[in-house]
Structure 1
Amino acid sequence: MKFRRSERLIDMTNYLLERPRELVPLTFFAERYSSAKSSISEDLAIIKETFEKRGIGTLQTVPGAAGGVKFLVRIGEIEARDFVSELCELIARPDRLLPGGYLYLADILGNPQTVQTAAKIIASAYARTKIDVVMTVATKGIPLAYAVATELNVPLVIVRRDNKVTEGPTVSINYVSGSTKRIQTMVLSKRSLAEGSKVLIVDDFMKAGGTVAGMISLLDEFKATVAGIAVLVESEKIEERLVDEYISLVQLADVDVREKRISVTEGNYFSRTNREEQ
């Protein structure tokens, strides 16, 4: 079947978007569209320029006989800042306050568009990092972690609080919760994580970082390494943070239950990612 160029561009774009970070040989596209490699290269140059202009991502060219192209998600800084600003306003609404000073975030984590944009921003920071899996702890962080895993085209591993008979043999550890100082348990199936994996930890909310520190300890049991840590919201007023190297989109500065006031600012995402790019 012979493709018109417009059809080829649309199909090629869709193919790349559905397979982020996957190396696609030029010969694959040449055979798929019955076109010369020179024509495919021209098409890819157009797609790359459009991706970068629109803040969608970029195409990385890998030279050599076994080379090809990879789509890497990348969101523009202006778009990212606009989203984080809107997210801060959304979280700062007084009606989010629950008894005990907790915040209601289920609507945000249940909104596909919001979660997907947040995931793109996080994935942009790790698009060029070697990552084998994304890890989170059940249950509220699952939507965000799944979206990040999709953007990076890697599996999602879910740490649970108790054993599930359907997961077979497990590894469990005890850890100290950073905020409540209580001893809690984490469980992960032995089959879910290969030894030596490079893991990106993603969570929805972090106070002192006890849960994240627990996941790091669990990774030691699998001889796996932490490739990065990303959270949607972090709490600012913490005497002792158990985790140092992480990125956050939003920082919860203060919660005044009596006045029903929530102070929210942007997290460290931009300062951390800009520093790493320099």
Structure 2
Amino acid sequence: MEKLRRNERIGALMNVLTNRPNHIFTYNYFTDKFNAAKSTISEDIVILKRLVNKLNLGHIETISGAAGGVKFVPQMSQNQIKEFLMETCEYLSSTDRIIPGGFIYMTDILYYPDIVNNIGRIFASYFVNKDIDYVVTVETKGIPIALTTANVLNVPLVIVRRNAKVTEGPTVSINYVTGSTKQIHTMSLSRKAIKEGSNVLIIDDFMKAGGTAKGIKDMMKEFNVNVSGIGVFISTEHPNDKLVKDYISLLTLKGVDEEKEKVYIEPSKGING
């Protein structure tokens, strides 16, 4: 490959690192890719570290040793998180989102790439030090935010199905009770999906009483894995006593007044600093 100028290498380095966050690239990978000496790449990384910190994009981490290298850890500042969550609340507070029964329409939000990418970055920042091996969600609406979270953490996504599929091979199925309606539902997961002893992060789009999250936790017991955390995009203020206790919610839906056509939603306490 033709040798690149420093500014060209730094741009290319940033592109490689951000396209695969939390993945450790060896220095040899970059020396071969850019036809440059290791000392040159090391100097480029130092410059890139300063740039990433200055722009509040996260941080570049270098790992020493035989298995070492460099990786990009995306992060959002508290001000960036606050601004994003407040903007999202404004979107969701629109009166035309009110659905009969005291619900709000949010499917479009969950499929808008820029929004779900930011949600994934926020969740990943809270759980990046938990040694997560898998992100787990249940089909279907939670899949986009779970996928972006898994992408930032650089781990596989596992999707628990409502019904077993023949293409999944042997599966584990359990019955669980929804926390709000007390209805009995079934969820299933392929026996090949998760390795025993792994650490998993449960991600879901919405929590009312926590029945689905508890169902996934119970499912994880069947696989002998550790649930290291639960992240929820929106949780309702009531009931206050959820079926799961240790979870992070980005937004809290305090209520929907159909008569006054008002949605009361705000960033959850402790999330936006």
Aligning the two structures, in what range does the TM-score lie when normalised by the shorter sequence? over 0.9
Matched, 1:192 2:193: yes
- Structure number with greater CO (CA < 8 Å, separation at least 6) is 2
- Residue 219 of structure 1 and its aligned partner are, at CA, apart by 0.3
SS at match of 1:65: coil
- Residue 245 of structure 1 and its aligned partner are, at CA, apart by 1.1
Task: Look up the match of 2:108.
Answer: 107
Distance 1:267 1:187, change over 3 A: same
- Residue 126 of structure 1 and its aligned partner are, at CA, apart by 1.8
Task: Look up the match of 1:96.
Answer: 97
Amino acid in the other structure paired with 2:51? T
User: Normalising to structure 2: TM-score of the pair?
Assistant: 0.95
Task: Look up the match of 2:52.
Answer: 51
Task: Look up the match of 1:228.
Answer: 229
Structure 1 window deviating more from structure 2 (38-47 vs 261-270): it is 261-270
Task: Look up the match of 1:270.
Answer: 271
SS at match of 1:55: coil
Matched, 1:259 2:240: no
| Superposed CA offset, 1:133-162 (max 9, x none) | 111111111111111111111111111111
Tell whether the 8 Å contact from 1:62 to 1:68 is kept in structure 2 after alignment.
yes
Task: Look up the match of 1:68.
Answer: 69
Task: Look up the match of 1:124.
Answer: 125
The 2-side partners of 1:24 and 1:204 are apart by: 32
| Superposed CA offset, 1:63-92 (max 9, x none) | 223321121111111111000001111111
- Residue 191 of structure 1 and its aligned partner are, at CA, apart by 1.4
Task: Look up the match of 2:34.
Answer: 33
- Total equivalences in the alignment: 272
SS at match of 1:163: coil
User: Normalising to structure 1: TM-score of the pair?
Assistant: 0.93
Residue pairs, 1:231-246, within 5 angstroms: 231-246=232-247
The 1-side partners of 2:243 and 2:237 are apart by: 13
| Superposed CA offset, 1:100-133 (max 9, x none) | 1121111111211111111111111122320111
Question: Any gaps of 5 or more consecutive residues in structure 1?
Answer: none
Matched, 1:82 2:87: no
> What's the % identity of the aligned pairs?
46
- Residue 30 of structure 1 and its aligned partner are, at CA, apart by 2.1
Question: Any gaps of 5 or more consecutive residues in structure 2?
Answer: none
Tell whether the 8 Å contact from 1:133 to 1:149 is kept in structure 2 after alignment.
yes
The 2-side partners of 1:163 and 1:39 are apart by: 53
The 2-side partners of 1:130 and 1:68 are apart by: 18
SS at match of 2:197: coil
Amino acid in the other structure paired with 2:129? R
Task: Look up the match of 1:8.
Answer: 9
| Superposed CA offset, 1:219-241 (max 9, x none) | 00000111211111010121421
